[in-house]
C-alpha cells in the first residue's frame, strides 16, 4: 500500500488518546498505531482495549507467555506481519522463554515444548486457517490437556488476533520501530519483513 487506509490520530489529539497512549506504554513500550486509528471512533478503541484486557488476563495455566506465542502463530497463519511482530515482542516482554521463542516454528518436535503446549499451537493454527481447520481430533487433543475455561481463554486469544489481523492488514497499519526491530531480531531468520506495513 502507498499509505495506510486511515491515518492514526496523534497521541496528543485529545484526552482520550493521551490516556490510551499511557496504558499501552506500559504493556508494549509504545502505543500501537492500530489503536490510534481505532480512536477515530473511540468506542471501538475502548471496546477493543477492554476485550484485550479480558483475553490476556491470567487465570492459571494459560500463561502470559503462552498466550503471546499462540498469538504469534495465529498471526503467522493469517499472514499479518504487523501482528506477528507485536506478538513476538510481547512474548519476550511477558515471560516466554527465549528458547521457545527461538524454536517456535519447531514446536511439534523441539523438546522444550510440552504436549499440552503443542496441542494449543495445533489448535491456534487450525482455528486461524480459512476455512477453519479445527477437527474432532484437534478438539479431542485440546480437551485432554485443558479444561473448558482454559480452552475459552485459548480461543479468546485466537479470536482477538483474528480481529487484529484483519484490522491491520486491511488498514495497512504502519509498523512501529520497536516492534519492527523485534520482528527482525526474532523472525528475520524465517524471512519476516514489514511487508505492506512500511512507509
What's the pLDDT tens digit per position in 9-48? 988 888 888 887 887 777 788 889 999 999 999 999 999 9
Q: Is residue 110 a part of any domain in this protein?
A: yes
Q: Is residue 66 a part of any domain in this protein?
A: yes
Q: Is residue 181 a part of any domain in this protein?
A: yes
Given a contact cutoff of 8 angstroms between Cβ atoms, the answer to whether 44 and 36 are in contact is no
Q: What is the pTM of this model?
A: 0.94
Half-sphere CA count of 43, side-chain side, radius 13 A: 0
At 111-150, the pLDDT tens digits run 999 999 999 999 999 999 999 999 999 999 999 999 999 9
Q: Is residue 114 a part of any domain in this protein?
A: yes
Q: Is residue 54 a part of any domain in this protein?
A: yes
Given a contact cutoff of 8 angstroms between Cβ atoms, the answer to whether 125 and 73 are in contact is yes
The pLDDT of residue 11 is: 85
Q: What domain range is 66 assigned to?
A: 23-191
Q: Is residue 136 a part of any domain in this protein?
A: yes
Cell of residue 160, nine digits: 482477538
Overall residue count recorded for the chain in this entry: 199
At 44-74, the pLDDT tens digits run 999 999 999 999 998 889 999 999 999 999 9
The pLDDT of residue 13 is: 85
Q: Can you give the CATH number for the domain in which 173 is found?
A: 1.20.1290.10
> How many domains does the chain fold into?
1
Contacts for 49-57: CB closer than 8 Å, 24+ residues apart: 49/20, 49/23, 51/160, 52/160, 54/156, 55/153, 55/156, 55/157, 55/159, 55/160, 56/157
Q: Is residue 7 a part of any domain in this protein?
A: no
Q: Is residue 180 a part of any domain in this protein?
A: yes
Amino acid at each position: 500500500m502507498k499509505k495506510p487506509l486511515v491515518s492514526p490520530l496523534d497521541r496528543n489529539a485529545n484526552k482520550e488518546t493521551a490516556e490510551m497512549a499511557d496504558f499501552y506504554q506500559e504493556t508494549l513500550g509504545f502505543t500501537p498505531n492500530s489503536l490510534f486509528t481505532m480512536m477515530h471512533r473511540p468506542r471501538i478503541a475502548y471496546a477493543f482495549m477492554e476485550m484485550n484486557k479480558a483475553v490476556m488476563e491470567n487465570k492459571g495455566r494459560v500463561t502470559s507467555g503462552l498466550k503471546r506465542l499462540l498469538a504469534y502463530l495465529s498471526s503467522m497463519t493469517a499472514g499479518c506481519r504487523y501482528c506477528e511482530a507485536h506478538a513476538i515482542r510481547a512474548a519476550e516482554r511477558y515471560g516466554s522463554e527465549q528458547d521457545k521463542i527461538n524454536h517456535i516454528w519447531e514446536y511439534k518436535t523441539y523438546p522444550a515444548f510440552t504436549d499440552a503446549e503443542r496441542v494449543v499451537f495445533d489448535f491456534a493454527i487450525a482455528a486461524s486457517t480459512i476455512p477453519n481447520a479445527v477437527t474432532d481430533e484437534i478438539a479431542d487433543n485440546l480437551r485432554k490437556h485443558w479444561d473448558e475455561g482454559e480452552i475459552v481463554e485459548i480461543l479468546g486469544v485466537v479470536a482477538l488476533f483474528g480481529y487484529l489481523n484483519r484490522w491491520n492488514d486491511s488498514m495497512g497499519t504502519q509498523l512501529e520501530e520497536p516492534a519492527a526491530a523485534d520482528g527482525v531480531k526474532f523472525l528475520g531468520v524465517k524471512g519476516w519483513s514489514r511487508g505492506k506495513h512500511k512507509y
